[in-house]
Structure formats: C-alpha cells, structure tokens
Amino acid sequence: MNLQESVEKPKNMNIKKIYIDRSVQNAPQMQSICDRLKCPVNIVDDAGEIYEHIANDEDPVRRGKEILYLTQNKGAFLKKCPGTQNYICCGYQILHIGTFCTMDCSYCILQSYFHPPLLQFFVNHDNLLEELNSVFAQKNTMRIGTGEFTDSMIWEFWTDLSQLLIPVFSRQNHSVLELKTKTIAIEKIRNIPHNRKTILSWSLNTEEVIRTQERKTSSLTSRLEAAEKCQKWGYPLAFHFDPMVIYPGCQKAYENVVDKLFSCIRPENIAWISLGTFRFMPSLKPIIQKRFPDSKIVYGEFIRGMDGKMRYFKPLRIELYKTIINHIRKVAPEVLLYFCMEDENVWKKSFGFVPEDCGGLPAMLDKSAQKICNLG
C-alpha cells in the first residue's frame, strides 16, 4: 500500500469555491467565514446546480470536498442515531451541524451515503440553539454529538462553532456534547468555559492504517498530544477504535496504540472507549477500489451481516476484540468499554456479558457521563 501519507495538520483550507443559499446570505457569521476562506463566492437559490457540477466530475467525492455550501438546516437539528437493525445501539443523539468532510479516509461511508457528496455547513444557529434549549429544559441525561455526518472539528478553521456550542452546554447540567475528530484543531477551545460538559474525543487507529487509509488526517502521535492538551484544560475525553482493520500483525499494532494512549492520558478522565471493526455497505466497495486502488481494505474475510453490511467473519472480530479489551483492562479496568454496532453474541463472547445485564447500553453510557462529566 502506498497511499498518500497523513499530514500533521489537515489541509482544511483547500476549499476552492463557496456557494451561499440566498435565504441565508445575510446570516451574521457569513462574512467572517468568507473572509477566512478567501475564495470565489456564488449566491444560489438551491443546491441543484452545485450537485450537477459535482456529479459530472471524474471524482465527485474529491470535488465535493473542495466546495463549501453555506445553507440552512430546514429539518430538525437533533436526531436519534439511526443505529442498524439487529445490532446494539448506544442511543446517541446527533446534532446535525453540516455534512461531509475535508479529510479523505478510504473506508468513509460518506463517500456513498450522499449523492453526490457536498460539504455543507448550516448557518441558522438561532434554530439550533432553540432546539438545544428545549432539550435542556427537559433535564434528562442526553449524550449529543456532531460527528455522525462529518468530523466535529474540521469547521474550526473557518467558523466559530465550538465557541458557540461549548459555552451553551456549560450552562446546563444534564447533557453532554461529544466532539469527535481525527484533527488537532483544538487551539480555539483552550480558554472556553466548558464546565466538563463537552467531551473531546478522537478516532484512533494503528499507524499503518492512518498512513495508508486516512489521507489528510493527523498522525496518531499528534492526536494523542492534542488529547493530552485537552486533558490539561480540564476537558473529559473519549476514544474510538473504529474502524479496526484486520491485517497481519494488527493485534500487536492495536496493543501499541493502547500503550501510547495510556502513556499520556489518565483513565479517570476518559468517559468511554468504543470498539468496532471495519464494516461497509456493498455499494462502497467499488468506490474504494476506484479512489484508493492501492488499498487492500475491502479484500479481507467478510460475510454479509444481518444489516446487509459486509463484516469480518465473526470469530476474527471476537479474537481481535478480546485481545484489545484485555490489554486495555490491564491499565484501565474502570473505563467503560463498549461496541459500536455489534450483536449480543459478540458482546457475550468478548466481554462476558450483554448490555441488558447492566440495564442496557444507553444506561451504561449515561452513568459514565454522569460520573466523568459531573452531570446532575
């Protein structure tokens, strides 16, 4: 494999053109975003002409990462994680701030999820805050994240989104915001009052996977250094070993990642660690083959899962999970570990229990959030 190596700082300023929906052209933050990006701006009535332009490109995915569409979210900002049939879901709430990503990971589902893919940022933040305040008024424990359809922190380079969201969450005592990223774009959050109600989280992988499959992302060392800084600033942390890729020597490689993690991060500052192996819809395979011709990631021992996704043969998943779980438990026995979208059989054989034994996975995660983030 000889894909382009990762860089220390994501190339998030490679936006070549901005389109602004006419309905939001006078939004308060519009001028500052355009000033920071300094590229041609077009006002449009809808996204139709943008989609056509992207769809006709030889590589629509690459082209979609170079165009920023500033528009409004006409639906709900908060949505339940859709989960996947027959697999255990964490009960996450998605804060829908935008779509797509400037980084370029071979396995990214967003390559086939959006047709065509387009980097969108929703600027109707008054509506966003109104929804959040309505949720906060209910005073129920909620775990809310912005990283389902995008990376949470790529927007730091040209927006003030974190300066908006983190203080809002700091002023209530029942919900937590998780910002998940593969970047090191943390400097703007250094002095924001957070009251431990925002969790900074990183997707982690082996150095081999990052180098060969995660183009334009930060290195493992840089991610952990950024996490250590956030730890010093008092932020709770989380980590996601997802997607774990099975290849010769991967077990030892993932153990090395665990060792590096706990060489700089204290277990008592970690809200949770998730584990999940590479899985994909069949429609993603030809896209990976075309865009990442040197990648071998789709040629493992896969079978079709109960949700239609291709998943590693179950005994292979369990073997890797047990190895990494045991390695984490040696240094962090109290940290909450969980699977992202696995079935009860895998839970039982890997952890020795199923979430229902502990009140369900959402309850397990809520309890950890209450403890680590000082929820009321």
* pTM for the structure as a whole: 0.94
127 lies in some domain: yes
3 state DSSP class of 179? strand
- The answer to whether the CB of 286 falls within 8 A of the CB of 61 is no
Number of domains comprising the chain:
1
- Alpha-carbon distance 102 to 79, whole Å? 23
In a domain, 310, yes or no: yes
1 occurs within a structural domain:
no
For residue 245, CA distances in Å to 130, 215, 242, 251, 300 come to 40, 16, 8, 10, 9
Task: Collapse the DSSP code of 237 into the 3-class scheme (helix H, G, I; strand E, B; otherwise coil) and give the result.
Answer: strand
The answer to the question of residue 7 being in a domain is no
- CA triple 229-331-344, angle to 5 deg: 105
* Domain presence at residue 3: no
Place of tokens 């809200």: 271
Q: How far apart are CA 63 and CA 100, in angstroms?
A: 12
List the chain residues with pLDDT less than 50.
Answer: 1-12
Residue 11's pLDDT is 44
Q: Which helix (H) or strand (E) holds 43?
A: strand 41-44
Instruction: Please provide the size of the chain in residues.
Output: 376
3-state secondary structure of 269: helix
Is residue 44 included in any domain, yes or no?
Answer: yes
Q: What is the pLDDT of residue 13?
A: 59
CA distance linking residue 376 with residue 158, whole number of Å:
34
Whether 336 is covered by a domain: the verdict is yes
Cα 231 to Cα 250: distance, rounded to the nearest angstrom: 28
User: The CATH number of the domain where 348 resides is what?
Assistant: 3.80.30.30
Structural domain span for residue 368: 17-372
**∠ CA(13), CA(17), CA(20), 5° rounding?**
115
Query: pLDDT digits over 87-116, tens only?
Result: 998 989 999 999 999 999 999 999 988 778
Measure the CA–CA gap between 328 and 320, rounded to whole angstroms.
Answer: 12
| pLDDT at residue 74, as a whole number | 93
